[in-house]
Amino acid sequence: MKSLSDSWVDTLLNWFREVRHPYPWREGRSPYRVWVSEVMLQQTVAATVEERFRRWMERFPDVESLASASEEEVLRMWEGLGYYNRARNLHKSAKILADQGFPESSQGWRSLPGVGPYTAAAIGSLVLREPSPVMDANVLRFLRRFCQEGTSGEELLQRVIPRESPGEFNEALMELGQQICRPRTPLCQECPLKSFCRFFRGGETEPPPQPRKVTIKESWVLMALLQGSLLMEKTLKGRFHGLWRPPILPKRGTLPPVEEMGELFPGGFRDLRSLPPREHLYTHYRELLFPLLFFVQEAGSFQAFSQERLKELPMPTVYRRLVDETLFP
């Protein structure tokens, strides 16, 4: 029998059943769909994931189609979600799953590339009905505010998680954290659990977050055209490993780096003009891009791609927009 102090679980589930958003990954649940959605949601908000999940499922409807795809195509389909190692790990794992089948426990899921304890617990509860609480950032924030001092949040969830619907319970907690118990501006008056919450009942407030120091990175983007094709280079390391972009040079002054450009394009260049600068904000730094459009006589060390081929190349989002708006206005 559930104790009075645990009645908040029923309140939470009733609230969730009324407000739950009909995300596409909540339809026709299968191990594959749940796994892909949980990886996409690891570091990307649900509103961004929603359309990209639909597009992904149209191209890769099952694990076999994903396993047989090229890495380039997988990265292209991942565009806009960021943190591209997630896509590479999905691709690696798909090849394992296509050969060995889906794991039958959350521990088995953890053996796959890129699947940590949070993702494994989510899959375990949603697909395998394992009563394992998901301890993601939203849930941890909720527990910090909700629990009495000295109470272990994880032990509390392990005790109260419904054995008949662990996945629904985990989804409800995560949605509460995303929509109501937000990091900076929690909507306490709208919270279905406010009468149970230590944070609300005690009238507590959190100190304002410390402003983060944002590093600014400035680069010239060399939009070099060769007989109607754009010159591109493949990034071999860093966050954009395996993606394509136009050549870039660090921006050290206000004038275009014509001397360095002459070294990159020994055949010369002409009709140089500046395009409007672009700004893109990443987690830990801000990037300012200063595009230069010009024509060259030879490709040098770069590869030339036609407009049609450019549409197929995987690129970081900010460069995709720049290429599209420059060449496909």
Residues taking part in catalysis: 38
DSSP state of 237: S
CA atoms of 260 and 41, how far apart (whole Å)? 41
CA atoms of 306 and 41, how far apart (whole Å)? 34
CA atoms of 221 and 238, how far apart (whole Å)? 18
CA atoms of 121 and 246, how far apart (whole Å)? 40
CA atoms of 285 and 269, how far apart (whole Å)? 32
CA atoms of 244 and 310, how far apart (whole Å)? 9
H or E segment at 274?
Answer: strand 269-274
Place of tokens 């272990």: 152
DSSP string, 279-327: EEE-SSEEEEEEEEEEEES--TTSEEE-HHHHTTS---HHHHHHHHHHH
